[in-house]
Amino acid sequence: MRNYDINKKSYLWGLIKAETKTPSTGKKNNGIITQLISEFQDRSRSDIQKWRQAMQAAEDPENPRWNLLQDLYDNLMTDGHLMANIQIRKSAVMGNRFFIMDKDGKENDEVTQQIQTEWFYNIIEFLLDSIYRGYSVIELTDPILMRWKLIPHRNVCPQFERIYLEVMGTKFVTYSDPSFANNIIALTSLNKFGILNDIIPQLIWKRNAQQTWADFSERFGIPLVTAETLETDTKKLNLIETMLRKLGQAAQAVLPEGTKITIHDSSTKGDPHNIFSEQIKITNSEISKRIVGGTMISDDGSSYSQSEVHERTLNDKIAEADRRIIEFTVNNKLIPLLRNYGIKFNDNERFVFDRSERLSLTEHWKIVSGILQNYDVDDEWISRSFNVPIIGKKQQSVGAGITANFR
């Protein structure tokens, strides 16, 4: 099922050993996700008071619970602008080529191919979630197919390294227990609540502005129509009422003689577009600054040169910090775990992102050309870096050499 070039017998024995008992304790590992109980998730309207209560629950020194805050994150992450910026920042990391490098700086092609798979990219994305939500805990649920699943954030208590089977229950497992050493990887952000917590007020105010604007449009989008008449006949009054109701939709009506119609257009009074639109724009700019470090990557109204500056800030500073977090976690936690499942990492080999991809091919080739004048460079590396099928060195003719000497 996988393309791992390893000894089949030792690989299957490793799986049997990992699925039954862990080497360190001998305890049986039944898996955590299968024990979690599905529960109601709060999707009610968010407000500042609910946010403060959620932080207080997560900071409780004796019994911290994170379900309220994580439910709030889930609720507000339906914002399209927020998700676009998160996707841009994640792509700046996940779109970067990576490989396994030995102590001499050479790439181990065989092992690199083994991890350039869907499950490995899923692991990277799960780990990146810790930057936004404060922590991530993932579990290996299928060692044969290498399937990893994210433990729901709402069930996790990072302070005590617990996973509650019910978010408000008392039963839990400690994921740092050695019995889960071969199945669990956890990553906690230096930002206590994750960077999403920094923009929660902005997201709440933006949603309130959009909802209020929608209410305003529903009430005043179709102008109010009133009628003045001297009629006292009930049938004619009923007719006028019926016509007024239709007038709001059809813009035409048949009314008794002497009836005066007045249209009250309140849709532009107070400049509602400026009130609501400007609030939403300011909120979007705050979201962009916190996630990608600027407003000119995902927002309108920027010049090409300005957007390039913001893009370099993202790629060279913010995304680079994210890449280091992933490298440390993979090298210190994931690679030792994968060795137990048959992936043959050699000593002193480590996972790295290819930093040379941040240069254009032209800039990269200028640097390599300068190096080639004084040093020998591996042909395979040049072929791989520039996607050129090199079959050997070109032989210079004698005439070409003589001409060169005369010059």
Q: What is the pLDDT of residues 160-199, one digit of tens each?
A: 999 999 999 999 999 999 989 899 999 999 999 999 999 9
What is the SS3 assignment for 115? helix
Q: Point out which residues pair with 225 in neighbouring strands.
A: 263
For residue 316, give the DSSP letter.
I
| Distance from C-alpha of 205 to C-alpha of 196, rounded to nearest angstrom | 14
Residue 311 lies in a domain: no
What is the SS3 assignment for 22? coil
Q: Cα 259 to the chain's mean position, in Å?
A: 61
Q: Check if the beta carbon of residue 113 is closer than 8 Å to that of residue 125.
A: no
Please state the domain count of the chain.
3
Q: Check if the beta carbon of residue 122 is closer than 8 Å to that of residue 95.
A: no
Report the range of poorest mean pLDDT among 131-135, 147-151, 381-385: 381-385
Residues 113, 243, single domain; the answer is no
| Distance from C-alpha of 38 to C-alpha of 337, rounded to nearest angstrom | 29
Q: Going by DSSP bridges, is the β-strand pair 98-101/172-174 parallel, antiparallel, or unpaired? A: unpaired
Residues 40, 176, single domain; the answer is yes
Report the range of poorest mean pLDDT among 2-16, 96-110, 314-328: 2-16
**Among candidate residues 172, 171, 173, 175, the one with its CA nearest the CA of residue 187:** 175
Handedness of CA 88, 357, 312, 302 (dihedral sign): negative
| Distance from C-alpha of 396 to C-alpha of 355, rounded to nearest angstrom | 34
In this predicted structure, the answer to whether residue 382 has a pLDDT above a threshold of 60 is yes
In this predicted structure, the answer to whether residue 26 has a pLDDT above a threshold of 50 is no
Residue 98 lies in a domain: yes
Residues 27, 69, single domain; the answer is yes
Residue 127 lies in a domain: yes
29 against 167, higher pLDDT? 167
Contacts of 273 (CB under 8 A, 6+ apart): none
In this predicted structure, the answer to whether residue 7 has a pLDDT above a threshold of 70 is no
> So what's the pLDDT on residue 187?
96
Q: State pLDDT tens for residues 207-233.
A: 988 888 887 777 666 666 677 777 778
392 against 13, higher pLDDT? 392
Residue 324 lies in a domain: no
Confidence bin at 368 (pLDDT 50/70/90): confident
Residue 399 structural domain:
359-407
In this predicted structure, the answer to whether residue 373 has a pLDDT above a threshold of 50 is yes
What is the SS3 assignment for 101? strand
In this predicted structure, the answer to whether residue 60 has a pLDDT above a threshold of 60 is yes
- In this structure, the number of other CB atoms found within 10 A of the CB of residue 89 comes to 23
For residue 295, give the DSSP letter.
S
**Backbone φ and ψ of 245, nearest 5°:** -65, -40
Q: Point out which residues pair with 262 in neighbouring strands.
A: 226
Residue 150 lies in a domain: yes
| Domain end point (choices 238, 264, 290) | 264
| Distance from C-alpha of 240 to C-alpha of 228, rounded to nearest angstrom | 10
Residues 42, 123, single domain; the answer is yes
Mean of pLDDT values over 262-282: 73
Residue 183 lies in a domain: yes
Q: Point out which residues pair with 371 in neighbouring strands.
A: none
In this predicted structure, the answer to whether residue 402 has a pLDDT above a threshold of 80 is no
Residues 75, 30, single domain; the answer is yes
Confidence bin at 10 (pLDDT 50/70/90): very low
Residue 277 lies in a domain: no
Residues 123, 75, single domain; the answer is yes
Compute the CA torsion angle 372, 375, 380, 384 (nearest 10 deg): -50
What is the SS3 assignment for 263? strand
Residue 129 lies in a domain: yes
- In this structure, the number of other CB atoms found within 10 A of the CB of residue 37 comes to 11
Give the helix/strand (H/E) hosting 148. strand 147-150
Residues 236, 98, single domain; the answer is no
Residues 151, 21, single domain; the answer is yes
The pTM of this model reads 0.73
Residues 40, 168, single domain; the answer is yes
Residues 36, 174, single domain; the answer is yes
Residues 162, 246, single domain; the answer is no
Residues 175, 242, single domain; the answer is no
